[in-house]
Amino acid sequence: MEQYDLIALRSFIAVVESGSFVRGAEQLNASTAAISRRIAALEQALGSQLINRTTRRIDITEAGRRFYEDAVNIIQLLGEAEERVRIGREAATGIMRVAAPLSFGVEQVAPVLPEFMRRHPALKMQLLLEDRYTDLHSEAIDIAIRIGTSLPDSSLVAVRIGSIDRVFCAAPGYLKKNGEPNTPEELKQHRCLHYSLLSLREEWGFLFGDAAEAAQIKNSLSANNAEALKACAIGGMGITLLPRFVIEDALKDGQLRQVMAAYSPPSSGLFAVRPSRRYVPARVRLFIDYLRESFDKEKLKA
């Protein structure tokens, strides 16, 4: 049997999971040429083509898919063996990619990172802030922080790390001009600012328990970012429903005013989502525990 090493296996796994030689190289801090050479040598050692290369994308061969599954199991088993050796001296090492919504990432995640990095100086962190659902597998994300998440992908695991309150709010000038709603029915007469990553039914339907009723909400503006909706609300464009941590400063200085407090939705769960491989690296477990320690407090609710 021809010889190949763990570096070649990790390179192959990185390319398959990221979907490209370039992204796989970025994950491993290597050049694209080096990754290509490693996989070519691996294919030569195995006597079988694992990846079909084209100018725009890669296709995994059937042999490549089977080998990928076995290679992942091998890496997981080695990881578990290393973990058993490390017991009692556990530390976060390597590179960890963390995805989070933009506003939450800037206002809540970034401020707690320095302490975690001080505790684990050997760790390198990549923080990806975007208001979209990242694909943990194809983008090689170790942890995605999500609010009120659902998991259609059964290969993911969600760990609750806290909760988020959302409140209805609007600018005092808007309320003075248009009146203040006191019931869901009255809300239908107002311009509403909608978070576009949720359907109208998801965001407003809890008020009515009926999709048709929720559809009567006047969606005058939608955006996929909470800070943008906050700015539009402060500008007097309408009523919006946002996490309290996003608008707390505007509530305190009078730029926004809470309305319909009696109809605020239940707190949304705050989750750390990870791929559900049997082996969970120490850095992932330690960071999830740290996030729970940091966020499972009243500070995100008030």
Between the alpha carbon of residue 13 and those of residues 42, 72, 198, 223, the distances in Å are 12, 7, 33, 36
Query: Is 1 inside a domain boundary?
Result: no
Flag whether 70 is in a domain: yes
Q: Are residues 118 and 197 in the same domain?
A: no
Q: Are residues 253 and 183 in the same domain?
A: yes
Shared domain check, 72 and 217: no
CATH of the domain at 28: 1.10.10.10
In this predicted structure, what is the pLDDT of residue 3? 75
Look at 2-6, 36-40, 117-121, 224-228 and tell me which has the smallest mean pLDDT.
Answer: 2-6
pTM: 0.63
31, 172: one domain: no
Residue 176 CB partners (closer than 8 Å, separation 6+): none
Domain tally for the chain? 3
Q: Are residues 257 and 177 in the same domain?
A: yes
In a domain, 25, yes or no: yes
CATH number of the domain that residue 283 is part of: 3.40.190.10
Q: How far apart are CA 77 and CA 243, in angstroms?
A: 41
Do residue 248 and residue 204 come from a single domain? yes
Whether residue 228 lies inside any domain: the answer is yes
Q: What is the pLDDT, as a whole number, of residue 174?
A: 96
User: Does a structural domain hold residue 60?
Assistant: yes
Range of the domain at 28: 6-86
259 and 276 belong to one structural domain: no
C-alpha span between 169 and 259 (Å, rounded) = 5
pLDDT digits (tens, 9 = 90+) for 170-218: 999 999 999 999 988 888 889 999 888 777 666 777 777 765 566 677 7
171 and 144 together in one domain:
no
Per-residue pLDDT tens over the stretch 26-76: 888 889 999 999 999 998 888 899 998 875 678 889 998 888 888 887 887
**Same domain as 222, residue 202:** yes
